[in-house]
Structure 1
Amino acid sequence: MAELMPTEIHFGHVTYTVHTDATEINTDEPIGQGQVGASFHQLRAIWVLTEGMTLEQQQNTLLHEVLHCCVNVSGLQVPGKGPDETEEVYISAISTPLHGVLIDNPELHAWLVQGYPQRHMMGMTE
């Protein structure tokens, strides 16, 4: 049985909600034509298009947005022309290969998470 897309993703003490319907996110920020995902850091929300997308495309898009959130939560300032353009170049360059690494190496994921109970099971969500 296929797993459902998570509805929340925890970045340490920061929790983002995950949405597949952009109208659920109360924002004035425009979603660009052809855009398949977006991160709304002020709202702590992620949107992923699912309509017309394969499961692999949805997974890759969510991972891409998760990486944007990691940059935001860490406070990292990506050097270059502008934060949005430069960050997008880096995130796009690593999200697809990272997704492939996780798919091709399930033992890597298992090893990375061993010994760590899920935080929501420990009552550590916001």
Structure 2
Amino acid sequence: MALAKLGVVVLDCPDPRALAGFYAGVLGGTIEDQGEWVDLKVSGGQALAFQESPGFVAPKWPSSDGSQQFHLDLVVADLDEAEKGVLELGAKPLDAADRSRTYRVYADPAGHPFCLCLS
């Protein structure tokens, strides 16, 4: 039996509104601005939250001397189309050169790693 239910995944970042806007462009959904905290409500999916973190230091991927902290796996139907879209929204490729794989790794505008994974 579960002891708890997942409420929301929270990403620390320097600008919650900007990062919520990036993920709204990727996932769709509605942004609810709470000031230092911003929620992204995604229809039929898990909500994401963004919290202002002064002094934020972006995670490193991959790195043996720094932690990636966590990453998001985002399932897509077409890797090339999804890649084009996330790059237009401000993502940066971290490990996307190998086109034979079923995933590609990027960083969001605040530096959090995420993967586009072929469904």
Shorter-chain TM-score range:
under 0.3
* Higher strand residue share: 2
TM-score w.r.t. structure 1 length?
Answer: 0.24
